[in-house]
Amino acid sequence: MNPPQKNPKAVARQAQIDESAAGQRLDNYLLGALKGVPRSHIYRLIRSGQVRVNSGRVNPKHRLKAGDRVRVPPVAIRPPAPAAPTGGSLDWLAQRIVFEDQRLLVLDKPAGLAVHGGTGVTLGCIEALRALRPELKELELVHRLDRATSGCLLVAKRRSALRTLHGLLREGEVDKRYLTLVRGRWREPVAEITAPLKTKRGAGESRVRVARGGKAARSSFRLLETIGPTASLLEVSIATGRTHQIRVHAAHLGHPVAGDERYGDPEFNDAMRRLGLRRMFLHSRSVAFVWPESGEEFSIDVPLPQELEDVLTTVRGRAPTDRAPRP
């Protein structure tokens, strides 16, 4: 996609933050205010000083308050060459909406689909949902999943719901659980890892590693099943949402995720490919939280995709299986 350009005939505008946008991060606010501008360009606008809050420079993670004045620079968007799909071409996406109410919808994201457009990605989940449901003017991602990860993806339908859910995520009040198949025989019933993570951004990809001075990250791994000496099926809950967190923590513990081309074991991946694995074995299984205003409990569970169930069946058929007792 061509980069956004300054429009010489346009002028910067001053946006007044109201209660519906209060508490939102500046970068996320601008993604909504400047529809179609890639996140990388949003960061450049902020860091170059073209975006100001109350006439001062701030960082992209600055949280806005009601009454703040945000300088929004003029940016002309060049639309991508392919038109966004509409109508019947998005029927498959409608069928993957597994929950919807007035505040929230939950998408069973397929593996291989990015959550949002960007470099090399014309259309992601959020752009496709906006094309499918143009009447919903405030659709925003609540969180993200790696492109290769399937499962529960929360999308807010209202700014107020987005603000509430972001607050719950910051406070660690959202229970997110994943299923993953990893290399080798997992020895402990439960293992918690708090190794800090540091991201290095290169040309076209980000690579994350465990490093002193990195961002705090906490993952809890629970053994569900060992399948001979070859592999182990785990449930993972995360208290933080760092980039590639589960994949890097698992590899750091010596049990890389099956099918992970970036942090995994090539020999293990080749063996799993011969058993039918055509993607990374990582699935967002469930999300649960309590709406703070009403005390209403919310939970959603998305079953493992059939292609991953088939792989498990094949792997189990090749080796003795020990299933951990259910809690």
Residues 35-48: pLDDT tens digits?
A: 778 777 888 889 88
Residues 97 and 156 in one domain: yes
Residues 267 and 202 in one domain: yes
Residues 18-31: pLDDT tens digits?
A: 887 888 889 888 88
For residue 8, give the H/E element and its range.
none
The pLDDT assigned to 256 comes to 97
**Of 68, 108, 146, 265, which is the active-site residue?**
146
Does 260 fall in a domain?
Answer: yes
Residues 177 and 209 in one domain: yes
Q: Which residue, of 42, 72, 102, is where some domain finishes?
A: 72
Residues 237 and 293 in one domain: yes
Residues 78-99: pLDDT tens digits?
A: 444 344 454 457 888 899 999 9
Q: What is the mean pLDDT of residues 149-165?
A: 95
The pLDDT assigned to 70 comes to 92
Residues 50-65: pLDDT tens digits?
A: 999 998 999 888 999 9
Residue 3 has pLDDT above 70, yes or no: no
Q: Residues 265, 167: contact at Cβ < 8 Å?
A: no
Q: Which residue, of 128, 163, 198, is where some domain finishes?
A: 163
Residues 33 and 116 in one domain: no
Strand, coil or helix: 77: coil
Residues 29 and 139 in one domain: no
The enclosing domain of 142 has a CATH number of: 3.30.2350.10
The pLDDT assigned to 83 comes to 43
Residues 180 and 307 in one domain: yes
Chain-centre distance for alpha carbon 102: 22
CA-derived radius of gyration, the chain: 21
Q: What number of residues does the chain have?
A: 327
Note down the domain range covering 31.
13-72
Q: Is 91 a known active-site residue? A: no
Residues 108-140: pLDDT tens digits?
A: 999 999 988 755 556 788 989 999 999 998 999
Report which of residues 159 and 120 the model is more confident about.
159
Does 3 fall in a domain?
Answer: no
Q: Which residue, of 163, 190, 207, is where some domain finishes?
A: 163
Residues 267-285: pLDDT tens digits?
A: 999 999 999 999 999 999 9
Does 7 fall in a domain?
Answer: no
**Above pLDDT 90, what percent of the chain?**
58
Q: Which of 78-82, 156-160, 199-203, 260-264 has the lowest mean pLDDT?
A: 78-82
Q: Residues 61, 24: contact at Cβ < 8 Å?
A: no
The pLDDT assigned to 224 comes to 96
The enclosing domain of 50 has a CATH number of: 3.10.290.10
Cα 36 to Cα 34: distance, rounded to the nearest angstrom: 6
Residues 209-222: pLDDT tens digits?
A: 999 999 999 999 99
Residue 162 has pLDDT above 60, yes or no: yes
Residues 180 and 312 in one domain: yes
State the burial class of residue 245 (Cβ atoms within 10 Å of its Cβ: 0-12, 13-18, 19+): buried
Residues 185 and 271 in one domain: yes
Does 285 fall in a domain?
Answer: yes
Count of domains for the chain: 3
Does 77 fall in a domain?
Answer: no
Q: Residues 151, 284: contact at Cβ < 8 Å?
A: yes
Q: Which of 121-125, 146-150, 306-310 has the lowest mean pLDDT?
A: 121-125
Alpha helices in the chain (DSSP H): 26-33, 39-47, 91-94, 125-132, 159-170, 245-252, 266-274, 306-318
Q: Shortest CA distance to 234 belongs to which of 183, 273, 276?
A: 183
The pLDDT assigned to 49 comes to 87
**Cβ partners under 8 Å of residue 48, min gap 6:** none
**In which residue are the tokens 């001075």 written?**
213
Residues 263 and 159 in one domain: no
Residues 193 and 297 in one domain: yes
The pLDDT assigned to 323 comes to 64
